[in-house]
A and B are shown apart, each in its own frame.
Chain A
């Protein structure tokens, strides 16, 4: 990077610009485990500083890579071409929570759980709940359009972003959207920015929709002989016109993975499990829980467990929550995919995955948000055997092809980043890519914002 650029950044930020090798190493990775060393790390305090950093980037042509908590799974915050990692950690204020008009105004560095907790205290709810909610940030959630378990009923981050303040690649500060329940004034720039992975603008403030906090919830754990039956139960539940607030499916591979680590007593022959939750007013929740249990039994459940108190519910969640920690015991490296297929094709996809695992001789652990058709496909490898890694990557590519063929999408909630860039065109087609690139040029003509993401580049390293 041009030393003059570093000097100018230093003048702007003082000791909030760090160039020591140690700090650069600490901002070289995310949850993908890949590493790219930035030239410097900037910790701006406010939108004006973000704006001036981007202006300097245009003058001196260095990349600016926004980063929240570095908890992403697609490499969105990795500085693949060096430059400046712009950390939003110091912009972590909740500016306002408006309980009358049901919205919150927050800075990008606010941790998702912090907002959820502040909302809860006021009897309100911010529903998006990505698995990393205790440490991921709202800015990162918006950039990647994070989902979560409650998406089946409440939708994803996109559905809660009413308006944004963001610094575009040009260094202009734009305000988009509304602070009202509705708004259709011109193009929807808010949605344009949500999920754009920091390639179009850097969010400096967000207006987020809140809901009243549901009164109560009931959790059910239904155990099935196989995925056919649990997938059938998912369809039966939809047919019963009940919308659970969580609908998590674990197949045999995931159950085995948990049982090896923290055994949960299960009936013999359990090959698939559905974790269901319904929330809302007391009376209707109990009725809906009955309907869910009925649908599960009619679809062939071996057993249905049910809890409405906090401790009992947590006990049922244990099976689901233990999967991710348990994965590490299966193999050190996971290729973590988040495909989505139409709900009606879930059982077919699980069958395809089982066959693929044996054909490619790799261990694949599957679980996910069945209500959304969103499956986390984890191809588990040692990471030290190049031949095995190659087979695993081939398997992943086949999963993508099958997903698109079934009318699904290759990323439900992780984003494209660098991990899936080679497959972007497979899903959106050449024209789709071309339109996206034209938009990118309009928001960020010099390409200073998060270069090397979403779109395939020759010098980019896959995995």
Chain B
């Protein structure tokens, strides 16, 4: 079966867009092929800085024929109706229609047979739309054609298109379609400098070979492999190790068609600058790799660059040029670093009064004051020294105003740590600058030092409380302030460090801080929720609970990912006033273990049975069977025994829970099982005597209540 080859040859496509564009091209073309009934065998897409290529193999030669029947009017219908039918069906005479009978009589039926078109024509028809509706993140017009409305747009000027179609055994044909100003055919060009000439191609195989000869490696993953292997070899040959960087590798592979890896060096004196700054300078600005000494793991004064050309002097001039640029960049970085060291972090703080954190949440200075207050309050709860936690909170954002962080925002926190160390801060205080941002993602470490914990929690809780207060909560996929990540961070810090915190209290107190520290600017009423200012206190009613349920949702996601049953999480959260995350998790764990035992399963069955009966009866009678049963009304020994056992279990579970011994509590409940079973065996709940019936229902409620000490069993599945 024939193959399709497409190549879009343009001016340089931004590296970050290439991979996505290749996939988009594949999807756009293959979706249309399938929709046209052309089911293909396989498709591969590629991108280089100057071309997007798609190879589809095993495309049928033509579309299948389509047979369509159209029902018309009754035989003997008025002439107008028949004429209309003929027109709609494309027939010239009614003799061309078939007559079919159904229960109402005879009808005309037009059989419209559409012969499948040759695939090459189908492709030719769909190509202009593929080109015109290509989903580039940003596209542009160019040249004389751009004077007219509706001009072609592409990511950068598009110069030519290869479109060939045909079986392996023959010369493929050129797919004929027209795009204004763009040549469509079987011709492309090689490397911009080393093989700029045009050449013709037939199909994918010879196309790839011809490109290779013209110094173009079509496949980005191959370019990455070449760069990775060459860079490692160059490093190894000199006794160094490449600091691998997949993101940079992908970007660099998108900047070259013919990767040539070279090594350069810089003055050893620059190694006084922190390694991260050197790496950021060389990576961000120059898109080069850094190397380290495998023994010490410290950076060495070498870098790897990837050029796009085999230069006539074997890269001497290129290396020299890059070395000069890197020298200038590192001089700048060193200057920034040295300048930063001259100002103490606390002396930078007044500037934050001029910087707005968020229109409704005040300035950065106000935010830092809130974080400091909260960190001070949290410190004793997490085992941190109050003074250190406050100091750390005060300084933790100061590096945002340094030159190095201004240049490389990704070094925020880390630079704060270096500068704090340099000015002789306590080690825990210095580390909090870096660690209070953690965890930055699911794979990031959680801070473990108490001072960092206090500041990290304060930072995240202030963010959450603030945005909740102004009603800027995440919705659907939109979470511009990364509030989900902040909540998950709080959860992980609490759980990993086994912290005992009453979140509801903390959140409520912080609302007070938010309203108190910062005077309200907008005197807004609470009419429209969107207009609630964080600093207007009446607007905050109930927000604490909402925020807590947000934590609950994040915790559920987290626990589910760790394999916990979501119904167990729900069963624990259904209890009132659960805001101690660590205890919630312990309860869930204990509950899970308990339900794995036979006693647990049977008790659950008994409790469910009791709950179901209660639910049905309570619904029927529109009442709730609460309150203790009357001892005098017990008729059978099973009733009395169960009541006694429940009372005993209640007291024992309560004590166990007070001691946070959830497994023990479950054990006490488990002992109820035979009595519950016996009760259901011997006792008829729906007795004819109304008082007796009510009393038994109340006893059932007691079963339910007793288990509520550990979880809401009605939420548990199974």
Instruction: Decide whether A and B assemble into one complex.
Output: no
Chain B contact residues, CB within 8 Å of chain A:
none
Residues of A that sit less than 8 Å from B by CB: none
